[in-house]
A and B are shown apart, each in its own frame.
Chain A
């Protein structure tokens, strides 16, 4: 079993729709959580950190559920420019290790 698992998608949704995807992690000692975005043939870039209380940044909302060991990303009023691969990232402070999920591909259609 992979340490960090994501639904690879692709999610194909119309512009303006709300879309959500989850990421599960297996190590209960995981400490920090992030969502990164990667455009085609580009490098990953930080989208947002995920805090225990949940956090929002404009149209994006991230949540953490430690009991069930998953994090989620919700995108409201999706734009064409949101089309990308979204990578879930988990870190373990004990090993200072940063683990990336394999990514969820999102495609927004006009």
Chain B
């Protein structure tokens, strides 16, 4: 069975450019999460969706970040404009329900120069 699929796996971009990260959750999972991981701050929850609806976006750093989930099989995390401090690994995870196991994608490693 396919797990959570993220793209791109790696992205190097210049400050000021727009970055779009994509995620396909596991079919049938109704919760989707975006996390960011850095050495300094660990895993931070950015936003999560339940049944395609954003439930909590309090972890989104600022207005430069936005996330959408237009349907049950696709989500995007967009950064515009990107800054060097956005460099991190961005993980998408899905879950079949509340308080259930999270299944993570392999992550998107973003470097902003």
Contact = CB atoms under 8 A, between A and B. Distances in A.
A46 B101 contact: yes
Interface of B: 31, 33, 35, 41-43, 45, 48, 50, 55-56, 91, 98-99, 101-102, 104-107
* Contact size range, A: 20 to 34
Interface of A: 31-32, 34, 36, 42-46, 49, 87, 89, 91, 93, 95-103
B107 A91 contact: no
Given A43-B91, A102-B42, A103-B42, A96 B105 contact: no
B104 A45 contact: yes
User: Main SS of chain B's interface residues?
Assistant: strand
User: Main SS of chain A's interface residues?
Assistant: strand
B42 A31 contact: no
A102 B105 CA distance: 19
Contacts of A49: 101
The 9 closest A-B pairs by CB, nearest first: A102-B42, A43-B104, A32-B99, A100-B43, A46-B101, A91-B99, A96-B98, A44-B104, A43-B106
